[in-house]
C-alpha cells in the first residue's frame, strides 16, 4: 500500500483520514488506514487544516454552528459586555465541558441581555466569505485529492498515484505551495438553508457536499460546498478560467446541481 500524496509505503500507518476535518462536520467521509500515511496526515493537520480552521470567519462559522473539534471544543468568539468590556464567549457543549466561560450563553442570540448585563458578539452571515488565498487552495486541494481517491478506490489507486497530471497539486498541498494556484470562492445557498427529503418529508441541513467537473477543454475541477459556500479548484493547474467559462454558459448554476450533457 502507498500513500496517495507522498507515494511512499504506508502499510504501517495507523491513522484514518477525514476528507473534511471533523471540526467542519466531516465525520462521515473517511479514507481507510494507509490511503494517507501517518506522516502526511500529521503534516496536513498542522500545516494545511489548522491555518484554514483558524481563519476568523471559519472560527465564527464553527462557533455559530456548534462544530466541535476532535477534542470536543468549539472555538470561542470575542464579545463586549456592557458595551465596554471585551470578553471571550464560549458555548456550552453537549459533553458538559464548557472551557472558560465568561458568560453562560447556552441559549444565545447575537445580543443577549439580562436585567444587569448586555453581551454583544458577532453573528456569522451569508455575506461573509473567506478570501481566496494559498491557505484556501491548499486546504481545498487536499480535500480534492482525497475525495477523488475515495471515488475511485474500488478500482485500485496505483494508476492514480502514478498519474503525473496530479503531481503539481500534490506538491502544492504537501511541500511547495504555489501562490498563484487559484480557488474560486462564492456562496450558492444560505448557510442555514433547510432542505426537505422528497421521500420522507424530513428536514435536514447540508454541512458539506462535493462533485467533479470535466470541461470540454479537458480540465478537471473539484467542487465542494461547505455550509453553502462553494469552493472550486482546478486539479491540473492553478488556473480557473475554464470553470468561469463553464459558469457563464450555465447561468452561474453550481456544477453540484447541474448535470452537463457532455
- pLDDT (average), residues 110-128: 71
Is residue 183 in a domain? Answer: yes
pLDDT in the model for residue 114 = 52
Please tell me whether residues 96 and 147 are part of one structural domain: no
Helix residue ranges per DSSP H, the chain: 38-44, 50-53, 56-65, 134-152, 158-162, 167-174, 241-248
Please tell me whether residues 30 and 145 are part of one structural domain: yes
Mean pLDDT over all residues of the chain?
A: 88
Is the overall model pTM greater than 0.95, yes or no? no
Please tell me whether residues 89 and 165 are part of one structural domain: no
Is residue 4 in a domain? Answer: no
CA distance 8 to 117: 58
Is residue 146 in a domain? Answer: yes
Please tell me whether residues 101 and 152 are part of one structural domain: no
Is residue 254 in a domain? Answer: no
Domain boundary among 71, 91, 120: 120
pLDDT in the model for residue 134 = 97
Domain boundary among 120, 141, 167: 120
Domain count, the chain: 2
- pLDDT (average), residues 72-79: 83
Neighbours of 148 (CB within 10 A): 19
> Cell 493537520, residue?
45
Please tell me whether residues 174 and 78 are part of one structural domain: no
Is residue 260 in a domain? Answer: no
Please tell me whether residues 135 and 30 are part of one structural domain: yes
pLDDT at residue 139 tops 80: yes
Calculated CA dihedral for residues 6, 9, 11, 15, nearest 10 degrees: -20
Is residue 232 in a domain? Answer: yes
Please tell me whether residues 90 and 202 are part of one structural domain: no
- pLDDT (average), residues 212-239: 96
Please tell me whether residues 113 and 36 are part of one structural domain: no
Please tell me whether residues 70 and 116 are part of one structural domain: yes
pLDDT in the model for residue 183 = 97
CA distance 138 to 179: 10
The percent of residues in the chain predicted with pLDDT above 70, rounded, is 89
pLDDT digits (tens, 9 = 90+) for 78-99: 877 777 777 777 775 544 433 3
Please tell me whether residues 221 and 162 are part of one structural domain: yes
- pLDDT (average), residues 30-45: 96
Please tell me whether residues 172 and 220 are part of one structural domain: yes
pLDDT in the model for residue 73 = 83
Is residue 75 in a domain? Answer: yes
pLDDT at residue 214 tops 70: yes
- pLDDT (average), residues 113-129: 76
Is pLDDT larger for residue 72 or for residue 145?
145
Please tell me whether residues 151 and 98 are part of one structural domain: no
Range in 15-29, 61-75, 236-250 the model is least confident about: 61-75
User: Binning pLDDT at 50, 70 and 90, where does residue 76 land?
Assistant: confident
Cell numbers of 207, please? 454541512
Is residue 5 in a domain? Answer: no
Domain that holds residue 28: 17-55+130-248
Amino acid at each position: 500500500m502507498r500513500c496517495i500524496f507522498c507515494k511512499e509505503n504506508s502499510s504501517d500507518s495507523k491513522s484514518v483520514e477525514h476528507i473534511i476535518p471533523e471540526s467542519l462536520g466531516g465525520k462521515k467521509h473517511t479514507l481507510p488506514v494507509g490511503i494517507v500515511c501517518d506522516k502526511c496526515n500529521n503534516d496536513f493537520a498542522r500545516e494545511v487544516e489548522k491555518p484554514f480552521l483558524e481563519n476568523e470567519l471559519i472560527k465564527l462559522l464553527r462557533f455559530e454552528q456548534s462544530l466541535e473539534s476532535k477534542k470536543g471544543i468549539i472555538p470561542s468568539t470575542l464579545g463586549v459586555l456592557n458595551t465596554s468590556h471585551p470578553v471571550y464567549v464560549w458555548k456550552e457543549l453537549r459533553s458538559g465541558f464548557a472551557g472558560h466561560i465568561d458568560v453562560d450563553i447556552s441559549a444565545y442570540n447575537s445580543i443577549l441581555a439580562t436585567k444587569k448585563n448586555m453581551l454583544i458578539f458577532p453573528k456569522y452571515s451569508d455575506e461573509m466569505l473567506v478570501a481566496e488565498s494559498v491557505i484556501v487552495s491548499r486546504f481545498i486541494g487536499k480535500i480534492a485529492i482525497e475525495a477523488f481517491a475515495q471515488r475511485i478506490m474500488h478500482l485500485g489507486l496505483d494508476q492514480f498515484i502514478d498519474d503525473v497530471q496530479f503531481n503539481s497539486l500534490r506538491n502544492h498541498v504537501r511541500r511547495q505551495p504555489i501562490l498563484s494556484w487559484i480557488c474560486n470562492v462564492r456562496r450558492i445557498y444560505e448557510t442555514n438553508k433547510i432542505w426537505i427529503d422528497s421521500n420522507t418529508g424530513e428536514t435536514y441541513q447540508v454541512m458539506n457536499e462535493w462533485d467533479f467537473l470535466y470541461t470540454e477543454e479537458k480540465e478537471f475541477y473539484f467542487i465542494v460546498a461547505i455550509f453553502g459556500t462553494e469552493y472550486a479548484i482546478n486539479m491540473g493547474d492553478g488556473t480557473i478560467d475554464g470553470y468561469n467559462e463553464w459558469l457563464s454558459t450555465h447561468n452561474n448554476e453550481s456544477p453540484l446541481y447541474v448535470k452537463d450533457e457532455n
